[in-house]
Every structure is written in C-alpha cells, then in structure tokens.
Amino acid sequence: MMKQKNRFKATKQAKKESPARRVFTRRAVLLMAAQTGILSVLASKLYKLQIVDGDKFTEMAKNNLISKRLLAPPRGRILDRYGEVLANNRINWRALLIPEETNDAGAIIERFSTLLPLSDRDQSRIQRELDHKRRFIPILLKDFLSWDDMAMIEINSPNLPGVIVDVGTTRIYPQGSLLSHLVGYVAPPNEKDVAKNPALALPGMRVGRSGIEQTQDDSLRGTAGSVEMEVDSVGRVVSQLNRKEGVQGDDIQLTIDVGLQQSVLARLGSESASSVVMDCLNGEIMAMVSNPSFDPTLFDSGVSHAQWSAWMQDSRTPLINKAAAGVYPPGSTFKPAVALAALDAGTISDKDRINCPGYLDIGGTRFHCWSRYGHGSVNLHEALKYSCDVYFYEVARRTGMEAIEKVANVLGMGVELPVELTHVKRGLIPTPEWRQKRGRRWNIGDTIVSGIGQGFVHVTPLQLATYTARMATGKNIQPHLLRSRNGNLLPEADIAHWSDIGIRSDHLQMVRSGMFAVVNEPRGSGAKAKLDYNGMQLAGKTGTAQVMHVSRALRESGHFNSANLPWKYRPHALFICFAPYNAPRYAVSVVVEHGNAASSVAAPIARDIMLDTLRRDPANRKTPLGQTVADAELDWQ
C-alpha cells in the first residue's frame, strides 16, 4: 500500500516536471540552432573573403603599398625654318603633395614650410588647389629645388607623409625676348582651363597664353603618362614599379628665320617700332619684330607685381605685338590702294593730271599738301613719286569710300588675315555706312582725308606687308607662320597656286612703276631707300601719319615743325617696299611709332632690312667658288 502511494506521488511529480523539461529542451535546441546559424554565416563570410574574393583583397592590400599618379607630358618644341630652337623644355625638380596620402594636409604644409619657406602667394595658391582639386591629384608645393632642398625633404620624409620629390620640366626660350610676341609664352592653367580638361590639373602642365604657344596649344601639349611606386608605411618611396612616359607634344616648325629676325631687330635699334618681312611667292613670314619686347620665361614661374607695373607704365607698350595687333593710320602708304581703286572705278587714268597749289579748298575747309608750295600739275606716276596729297584728295573725292574700301579689302587691309597668332587686329577702312551705324554723319571731308590714309583709316604692319605682296604679285597671298609639324612639311603654296586678286595687271603695273619712282627717280619721296644689290632694286612708298590735328593757322605760319613736338605727338613714320622690282620675291613693312619723317627714318630702315633679306636668300648667297648657295646645292645633288 505504501509502495503504491509512493509510486503515485512519483508519477504525479513527474507529470508536474515534464512541461518544464520540455520547455528547457526546446530552448536548448533553439540556442543550438542559432549558434549553428551564426557559425554558418561566419564560415560563409570566411569562405567568401578567403576563397571567392581572396585575389581581390590581395590586390587591394598590394595597392596600399603602391602610389599611383599621372605624369605631365613634355611640351613640344618650337623651331625656326632652319631648325633653330625657339621654345624648349628644361628638367626641373619640385616638391609635390598628394592630399589623399595624408590625414591633415594643412599640418603637413605647415611642417614643410618650416623646412623650405613658402611665400604668401604660394600658400594662397596651394590652399586654392586643395579646395578645388581632387585628393588624388598632386599639388605643387615648391618648384626649382636645389640638391640641398631635396636632401632636406628626404631626411624629413617620415614627418611629411604625402610629400614627394618629383622631376618635371619648365619652359625655356633660348632666344629670350627676340621672338616673345610671336612664339608667345605659357602659364599655369586656371580653374576654367581645368574645368574644360581635367588633365591640366597635373603639376607641371602649362597652357599657351599668347602667340604660337596659344594657337597651337593642343598640338604642343602632348598626352599624360603614369608612374607606380612602392612605398613603406610612412609613404617613403621604396622602389619604382612601373613608369609609362607621356607622349611629348608635336614639334612645330615656323617660317621664321631667326637670323633675319635678329637683323631686323638690330635695324630697328632703340625705336618703338615694328616690321614684317614676307615671302611674296608663298606668304611665309620670314621675320616679324615688335620692339620693345619682354622676357617670356617670366610668365612660367609668375610675373612679379613690380615687373607688371613697369610694363603697364611703359608708353612703348612692350607687351603688345605691334606687328599684328598695333593699328596705325597708314598715311601715304595707302595712296597706291586709292590709286588702284580709282583706276578700277574709271575715275582717273594714268594720264589724267591734277593741279596741286599746296592745298585743296572744299566746303570752306582747306586741306593742305605736305609740300607748302605744292607740286603743280601731276599725273598718277608723279603723284606717287612725290607723294602729292592734293592729287589723292581729289582722287578719293571722285572715287568714293565704298570703292576704296572694296579694293583695300582685296589687298588685305580692313579684313582678318589667317595668320596663326592671337589678338590679330583687322584694322579699319571706314565707309559712310560704318559711320552711320555709330550715329554720326559721313561728310566729304572724311573721304578726302581717307584718300591719304588719315582720318579713321587704320591698318597693321602685317596688313601693310600683305598689301605690298599682293600689289607686287597680283596674287591673293595669304600670310602664315607654320612650316611643318613633327618634321612633316605642311602644304606650301607657290605663287602659281594663289588666285588672282582681281585687279587688272596693267593697273598694278602703273602703281608699281610709281612706287619704283618713289625710290629710284630724282626727287622721289623715298630716295633714302634706294638699293642696288647684284642688280636688284626695290620699289616702295613712304608714309607719314599724323596723330594730332594741326590748325590751318599753324600750318600756314611757316613755323610748324613736328620734330619739335613731344614724342607722343609726333607723326608715325612708315615705309612699304618689295624687291627685286622686276621679279618680286620679298615684301617689307616698317612702322616707327612717332618717328616723325618716313623718308629719313623708316625708309633707310626698310632698305637695310630688305638688303639683309636678299643677302640671306640662298639664291643670292655666294659660296667660296663664286656660285650661289642654290646652284651649289643643285650641283651637289
């Protein structure tokens, strides 16, 4: 009985404990399942990391030891027609900062500046680049490092994470200021440049800002390269793993003869002046000089405020390329164009005579001739020879400005010329329509003074040379500066390929004959330009362009002398010419700012420039055997 009671109690107790045990068992199973799941996920992650993505993370680990960056390509060279270097590159050591390789770029820059001081200007530039450039793009800290500077950086490299010493190039101009207006210069890119082409953000990249450097910038710039370097935990370079050099920009060869350029500059001397020498047969510009000039290398490293102020205050404007961007009243050099317009319009013939008493009265206004006593009765040939103002006053009045503008444009004045330069001016040949658009009325006096290249008429020395070449040949000569690219000659146009300018050949010959008389006949206005070199002669035209109004009373007093005026009020002296007269090959234009008298200042300079040009022509230069250089080359071939 007692046993049954005990069994009953045990059974009853077991029934009470069974639900609790079952709950405990379920919890254990769930916990075990959760643990198994977590272990499965971890195992899966480990499998993915080690087996599936193992190669990927191995490569990433390697990349943590490799510094990659782009390399600025060397800029192409600029050469003269004979291969003389006009613009080149020079090796330059520099310190760069790669922002993404440091956590505190500001602290690193401050630490660097205690070792190698940075100017306020440099610090402003660096901060600006930090704010705008991507962190993987290197930033230039200091340029033109010495060996001591580089040693200082290397010794302190553990404290300068992200700072590296790099080799780059800087632009140099072996000819200095001789060709600065023509070749131009380069400067660091600005934000607009980088926005257009992100590759320009690379240290050492330069952008052409003037001249050939600017117009041929895309060809000269080249293609960026890259370099991979192994670095240690503090960023010190251990070894260079891979380097792919950039592709150097194209070499550009110009039509310029640097020897002739030097000769022209020497002929201009200390004058504020410009000159252009052009090949009449193909439009090649042999020399283009603007004086004074400037040192183009200053723009690569940065122009100081003092230097810039000095340039701005110089009344002779050294930064302006006077040959292509300087505009001047052409004075009497414009008279051949007026004559051609009148002949084309039929308002005069070469035999018509006009009387010059020394002035022309129209509408109550007296227009003076440069000769106080006049030239008497003159025809076209004599009017050009003596440069008679009254003759061309009357011719312009008869012909009208519309007809004069048309012929002037055909001859290359008042139009854009396709030369490979920046800031080339088109000049101005005014018309009544042009004047009306500006709210002013054109009057007969405007036409009369335009007839002698005064008033609103303005041209450039480049246009004067083109105008002279077109009159000399009757062909639509186009001036140009590019000769070859990477040694491949660009298509050169011989005179046979140029189209006619559309002016009758007999009319052109009448004008050319008058220009010959200017220099070679007695009492010609340009007698000081007379030249006889190996039987070759030149034809030309003087031009004295007023820059201030002279009253009638002062002119008629007999006491006026422009040479006594302050420099900036004296007339400009101009001269245009071509040679040889019987077979035109070269055209020359000379403009001497405030030179006063063309016949005594500009004419002799132009003669000497033409003489130097003819002497340098291979067809005229003699060998020791008495042959010309050209003949000797034919014999050798």
Instruction: Find out whether the peptide bond into 174 is cis, omega within 30 degrees of 0.
Output: no
Torsion angles phi and psi, residue 230, rounded to 5: -85, 130
Neighbours of 513 (CB within 10 A): 17
Torsion angles phi and psi, residue 119, rounded to 5: -70, 165
Active site residue 332: yes
Closest CA to 538 of 567, 511, 562, 515: 515
Q: Which residues pair with 90 in a beta bridge?
A: 170
Half-sphere exposure of 557 (CA within 13 A, CB side): 8
Closest CA to 384 of 523, 530, 571: 523
Q: What does the alpha-carbon distance between residue 341 and residue 503 come to, in Å, rounded to a whole number?
A: 9
Q: What does the alpha-carbon distance between residue 628 and residue 621 come to, in Å, rounded to a whole number?
A: 5
Q: What does the alpha-carbon distance between residue 449 and residue 398 come to, in Å, rounded to a whole number?
A: 13
Amino acid in position 95: A
Helix-strand-coil split of the chain, %, nearest 5: 45, 20, 35
Query: For the chain, how many helices (H) and strands (E)?
Result: 24, 21
Amino acid in position 150: M
Instruction: Find out whether the peptide bond into 580 is cis, omega within 30 degrees of 0.
Output: yes
Closest CA to 480 of 201, 221, 227, 254: 254
Closest CA to 460 of 561, 325, 602: 325
**Residue-wise DSSP of 559-620:** ---GGGS-GGGSPEEEEEEEESSSS--EEEEEEETT---IIIIIHHHHHHHHHHHHHHSTTT
Half-sphere exposure of 364 (CA within 13 A, CB side): 1
DSSP structural state of residue 50: I
Q: Which residues pair with 284 in a beta bridge?
A: 480
Q: Rg of the chain's alpha carbons, rounded to an integer?
A: 39
Which residue spans within 422-525 are E strands per DSSP? Answer: 482-485, 488-489
**Which is the catalytic residue, given 67, 210, 263, 332?**
332
Which residue spans within 314-455 are E strands per DSSP? Answer: 354-356, 359-362, 365-368, 376-378
Q: What does the alpha-carbon distance between residue 207 and residue 190 come to, in Å, rounded to a whole number?
A: 9
Neighbours of 298 (CB within 10 A): 16
Classify 154 as helix, strand or coil: helix
Q: Residue 414 region, left (φ>0) first, then alpha (ψ -120 to 50), else beta?
A: left
The length of the chain in residues reads 637
Helix (H) or strand (E) holding 51: none
Q: What does the alpha-carbon distance between residue 260 and residue 614 come to, in Å, rounded to a whole number?
A: 10
Helix (H) or strand (E) holding 124: helix 120-132
CA dist list (Å): 329 to 136, 311, 450, 458: 55, 25, 9, 4
- Residues catalogued as catalytic: 332
